[in-house]
Chains A and B, each alone.
Chain A
Amino acid sequence: MVPMPETISIETWRLAASYLFLILLMIMSQLLKLGHGKEFLVATVRMTLQLVLAGYILELVFSQQNILVTLAIMLFMQTFALVTIYGRVKGKISAGLKKVVALALFVGTSIPLAYFMVVVIAADPWYSPRYFIPIAGMTVGNSMTGITLGAERLARVFETSRPRIEEALMLGATPQEAVREFLSDTFSAAIIPTINSMLGMGIIFIPGMMSGQILAGASPVDAIKYQIVIMMGILGSVALAVYLITQLGYRTFFNERAQLLNNGE
């Protein structure tokens, strides 16, 4: 195999030079009288500060190799994802479904991640932050999207299909039978974005993680191996989280007497 060249370390002035594109955008905004100049600036400054901070924190964490710090970072990511989901579905889902969302997120991301670290990556130690944290980030981020789609869809089903669900109950169906088709639809809808991203991968786009590895000097063949296993990890995590949302979530719309609850009850 051809030896890989050393990574080109970006000098500070070259890093600064990359901001030329922001200046171009600001000029265009001015010419087009978009009036969004401030937002572009804020977004760029935020991105820079967040990444610089993340970079230094990760440097520190990687040098420590501390299990508690690593797990605390994962917990922070999961909690941040949960707050983001709650923000997106605000007012659309009940308190009961919110609890299921939290469970789906924590269980749905933690179990596949543990399997991944121990069996697939076989890192030493298993919680090696260099592997654990980026993979946890990708898993949690993708599951967050799946869970949001699943929870929103489920809430909408119970809002728009009440007559159908009630009819099935009055004809002797169990709550699960009354909503079975909707659960399948919800599961598919929530998992389709992940499947679609797999379909185009490597042809329509080179995934960010793989590009990053190649830029950092890894061989493309190694980079694709990582990309494949990570896509499988993401798929497993999204599937488990969405499965939990549908299978546990629908129960929050019924009481113990198999009666359909009003929204928000």
Chain B
Amino acid sequence: MQAVFSLRNTAFRDILFVEYLDIESGTLFGITGKSGSGKTTLLKLLNNMLTSDTGEVSYYGTNVLMIDPIVLRRKVIMVPQAPYIFPGTVLENIQLVFHFNRKELPAQAEIENLLEQLGMPSVLNRSTANMSGGEKQRIALARALLLDPETLLLDEPTAALDEDNALVVFKYLARWIGAPGKSVVAISHAGSLINDYGDAILDLSGGRIKSLEERSGAHA
């Protein structure tokens, strides 16, 4: 299988040191580890929001430094742990990110369908001002999914969700990577649904790889 991301002797300050890592495409790749273990830094190296001090990070075999960072970030969308939702309505948020990506807005029915699948029916014209953390997290995820990127980088995508909604999200992601050319790299705390849905789980400790568990028969 082809690697979506490859890291070779990648170091960032005194936060992260990864000698060798391949993340296979078409998988839901989980990253776990205590806070401060370098998880978010690793994710930000993948979409060139940060640049490693040494070594390299490649996206489908091309060093990310050789790819226009804006082009890369339109293919590899990241949703942070506490996503920023722009002022206005949910629809306006979606319109804005489509404008960023120079893409045509999908039909309203398609947008509503996705939001409904994430457990948020009839929110399109709601103001984002008084939304809960869980709602914001799902809006951010929907915003990213609608852009139809090749790869999604998710930082604790279900941290603000209750169990039922977290399950909805993981089930959706498992279906999403079934489509050709789609991959997900998701940070999630150990013992979460990533254990059931992850195709591989990387455990980071002190910025180094503690273990990498490849699994078969995931996406239960």
| Least Cβ–Cβ distance between A93 and chain B, in angstroms | 24
Q: A80 to B167, alpha carbons, bound, how many Å?
A: 64
| Interface presence of B123 (CB below 8 A) | no
| Least Cβ–Cβ distance between A250 and chain B, in angstroms | 16
What are 16 A-B contacts defined by CB distance under 8 Å? A163-B80, A163-B84, A167-B83, A169-B49, A169-B73, A170-B47, A171-B73, A171-B77, A171-B97, A171-B100, A171-B143, A172-B70, A172-B74, A172-B101, A177-B100, A259-B51
Chain B residue, CB-CB nearest to A164: B84
| Least Cβ–Cβ distance between B96 and chain A, in angstroms | 8
Q: Which residues of A contact B74 (CB under 8 A)?
A: 172
| Interface presence of B48 (CB below 8 A) | yes
Q: Is the CB of A172 within 8 A of B100?
A: yes
Q: Which residues of A contact B100 (CB under 8 A)?
A: 168, 171-174, 177
Q: Which residues of B contact A169 (CB under 8 A)?
A: 49, 73
Contacts A257-B48, A257-B51 hold; do A170 and B77 have CB atoms under 8 A apart?
yes
| Interface presence of B147 (CB below 8 A) | yes
| Interface presence of B50 (CB below 8 A) | yes
Q: Is the CB of B69 within 8 A of A259?
A: yes
| Interface presence of B78 (CB below 8 A) | yes
Q: A257 to B101, alpha carbons, bound, how many Å?
A: 17
| Interface presence of A166 (CB below 8 A) | yes
Q: Which of B48, B77, B80 contacts A172 (CB 8 A)?
A: B77
Q: A173 to B96, alpha carbons, bound, how many Å?
A: 10
Q: Could you list which residues of chain A lie within 8 angstroms of chain B, going by C-beta atoms?
A: 163-164, 166-174, 177, 257-260
Q: Is the CB of B83 within 8 A of A259?
A: no
Q: A177 to B74, alpha carbons, bound, how many Å?
A: 14
Taking A174-B100, A259-B48 as given, write out 13 further A-B residue pairs in contact, using a Cβ cutoff of 8 Å, ordered by the A residue number.
Answer: A167-B80, A167-B84, A168-B100, A169-B49, A170-B49, A171-B100, A171-B101, A171-B144, A172-B77, A172-B147, A173-B70, A258-B48, A259-B49
Q: A167 to B86, alpha carbons, bound, how many Å?
A: 9
Q: A166 to B140, alpha carbons, bound, how many Å?
A: 14
Q: Is the CB of A174 within 8 A of B82?
A: no
Chain A residue, CB-CB nearest to B149: A172
Q: Is the CB of B78 within 8 A of A170?
A: yes
Q: Which residues of A contact B145 (CB under 8 A)?
A: none
Binary per-residue interface labels of chain B (53-94) against chain A in the complex, 1 for a CB within 8 Å, 0 otherwise: 000000000000100011001100111101110100000000
Q: Which of A164, A258, A260 contacts B86 (CB 8 A)?
A: A164
| Least Cβ–Cβ distance between B193 and chain A, in angstroms | 23
Q: A258 to B77, alpha carbons, bound, how many Å?
A: 15
Q: Is the CB of B69 within 8 A of A258?
A: yes
Q: Which residues of B contact A177 (CB under 8 A)?
A: 99-100
Q: Which residues of B contact A258 (CB under 8 A)?
A: 48, 69-70, 73
Q: A170 to B100, alpha carbons, bound, how many Å?
A: 10
Q: A164 to B47, alpha carbons, bound, how many Å?
A: 17
Q: Which of B49, B69, B82 contacts A163 (CB 8 A)?
A: B82
10 nearest CB pairs, A to B? A167-B84, A172-B74, A173-B100, A170-B78, A258-B69, A172-B101, A172-B100, A171-B97, A164-B84, A163-B84
